[in-house]
Amino acid sequence: ELKVEQNPLFLSMQEGKNYTIYCNYSTTSDRLYWYRQDPGKSLESLFVLLSNGAVKQEGRLMASLDTKARLSTLHITAAVHDLSATYFCAVDLRSGTYKYIFGTGTRLKVLA
């Protein structure tokens, strides 16, 4: 059974600090996506990672993909309050059909 696990599940951090969210998955895939969800809202696409070693950066967020380790990271640099949200990773199964399996999410709270 495919599993996509994120850790930590909850993260409370001070503004200005750095931290990393981890996404591990249990099957072969070279396509991984990161999404952001604000409370009560829908999901917004952040990053699309399509190959081993892929790195994408947007503002204070940087995502990377290691397909050999089946691991993606979302690094937060100098956190600000506006980054408070829940972050999901999702893996695209290489099965000929396009089923996206989501991780459990990491709820991030940045404290002023």
Partner 1 sequence: DGGITQSPKYLFRKEGQNVTLSCEQNLNHDAMYWYRQDPGQGLRLIYYSQIVNDFQKGDIAEGYSVSREKKESFPLTVTSAQKNPTAFYLCASNWGTYNSPLHFGNGTRLTVT
- Which residues contact partner 1 by CB under 8 A? 4, 31, 33, 35, 41-45, 48, 50, 88, 90, 97-105, 107
CB of 70 to partner 1, least distance (A): 17
What is the 3-state secondary structure of the chain? CCCEEEECCEEEEECCCCEEEEEEECCCCCCEEEEEECCCCCEEEEEEECCCCCEEEECCEEEEEECCCCEEEEEECCCCHHHCEEEEEEEECCCCCCCEEECCCEEEEEEC
Which CB, 2 or 78, lies closer to partner 1?
2
Which CB, 10 or 15, lies closer to partner 1?
10
Which CB, 30 or 66, lies closer to partner 1?
30
